[in-house]
Copies of this chain bind each other. A is one copy, B any other.
Amino acid sequence: MKSLVIVAHGSRRQASNDEVRELSSQIEAITGQKFQKVKAAFLELAEPSIPDGIQHCIDEGAKEVIVFPYFLSAGRHVIEDIPAEVEIARKSNPGINIEIVPYLGSMDRIVDLIATQTTSG
C-alpha cells in the first residue's frame, strides 16, 4: 500500500493551508487506487508536520510513502529542510520506503500548463 504526502510551506493564513488540504483531497479523488491516502503536511506554521503526516499514512497501513514538495523553487526548504524532516520519519520507520520526488517547480509539464492557461481565451 502506497500513500502520497503533499508537503507545503505552511502559512499563518489558514485559508492557504486549507487550499493545500483541498488540493490533496482532489488528488486523492483522481488517483484512485494508486494511493491509499493523499495527505497534506507542512514544513512550518500548520499541522500536521512532515513526520506526523508520514506517520499517519504508515499507521493506516502504507508500506511506501511518496513525499511531494509543493514548492516552486529549489531553495533551502526543498534542499535541506524537507529531507531533514523526512529523515526523522525514516528513522522511526525502518523497513518503510519513503521517497522524495522532484518539487513542483522542477516539473517540465508546468511550462505546458502555464502556456495553455495563459493562451486560452
Contacts and interface: CB of A to CB of B under 8 A. Distances in A.
Interface of A: 4, 6, 8, 11, 13, 15-16, 19-20, 23, 26-27, 30-31, 34-35, 66, 68, 70-76, 101-102, 104-105, 107, 109-119
B114 A27 contact: yes
Identical copies of this chain, number = 2
A118 B74 CA distance: 18
A interface, over-half SS: helix
B11 A75 contact: yes
A42 to B, nearest CB: 12
28 contacts: A8-B72, A11-B73, A11-B75, A13-B75, A19-B72, A19-B105, A23-B105, A23-B110, A23-B111, A23-B114, A27-B111, A27-B114, A27-B115, A27-B118, A30-B115, A31-B119, A34-B119, A35-B119, A66-B118, A68-B114, A68-B117, A70-B114, A102-B117, A107-B117, A109-B113, A109-B117, A110-B113, A113-B113
